[in-house]
Chain A
Amino acid sequence: DAKTTQPPSMDCAEGRAANLPCNHSTISGNEYVYWYRQIHSQGPQYIIHGLKNNETNEMASLIITEDRKSSTLILPHATLRDTAVYYCIVRVASGYQKVTFGIGTKLQVIP
């Protein structure tokens, strides 16, 4: 079973920030939060990951709560090309772990 829960779908107006939440209340101290997205049955695309500090890259920002039980992926200016299924997973940095992606959040960016 997935160790994360996400809303099944969200809408966002083009040009506005998209904020995608993820709950991971059973996360372990050595598990990172990773975000991927999948556009129309292509292979998932890596977006960002973090342990406990907020992270930002050219694609998105990741905000992790202080207790690490939830996080939010922020796409600052959503475009139509950001329409995709977004997956939040938790994964250890080392060692071999079975990872389940769950069903993710279907983000629809609306013109």
Chain B
Amino acid sequence: KAGVTQTPRYLIKTRGQQVTLSCSPISGHRSVSWYQQTPGQGLQFLFEYFSETQRNKGNFPGRFSGRQFSNSRSEMNVSTLELGDSALYLCASSARDRQTDTQYFGPGTRLTVL
């Protein structure tokens, strides 16, 4: 099976702009989670989508939003970008159809805000 894919891989934006990142999960996986990684902060959970519904949300401002489509592909959007939003954004997919639910990560999108 193909792994989790994320597009674009690199992105440069300026403050105040908005950005949309895309994630295609492993075929058959219905859950997509998004994480933000900045130096020294580890991976911070943003939100999880399952069956087109947001199931859980981390402690991020409302500028961070997401959605999931019927084919399980997901997008996350960040509006009114700030310098501190510069980070590696990772998405992970899981099947959520058995007792243990392993997440598999994509390569990430490196966002730089100038």
**Chain A residues within CB distance 8 Å of chain B:** 2, 32, 34, 36, 41-46, 49, 51, 87, 91, 93-94, 96-104
- Are A41 and B101 in contact, CB atoms less than 8 angstroms apart? no
Q: In this assembly, does B17 line the interface, its C-beta being within 8 Å of a C-beta of chain A?
A: no
Number of A-B residue pairs having CB atoms within 8 Å of each other in the complex: 60
Chain A residue nearest in CB terms to B40: A103
How many Å from the CB of B55 to the closest CB on chain A? 4
- Which chain A residues border B56 with CB–CB below 8 Å? 96-98
The A contact surface, by secondary structure, is loop
Chain A residue nearest in CB terms to B107: A43
The B contact surface, by secondary structure, is strand
- Are A2 and B42 in contact, CB atoms less than 8 angstroms apart? yes
- Are A94 and B101 in contact, CB atoms less than 8 angstroms apart? yes
Chain A residue nearest in CB terms to B101: A93
A41, B110: Cα distance in complex, Å: 9
Q: A100-B43, A101-B42 are in contact. Are A42 and B102 (CB under 8 A)?
A: no
- Are B100 and A32 in contact, CB atoms less than 8 angstroms apart? yes
List 8 extra interface pairs beyond A36-B105, A43-B92, A44-B43, CB under 8 A: A43-B4, A43-B106, A44-B92, A46-B103, A93-B101, A100-B42, A100-B43, A101-B43
Q: A2-B42, A100-B44, A101-B43 are in contact. Are A44 and B105 (CB under 8 A)?
A: yes
How many Å from the CB of B66 to the closest CB on chain A? 14
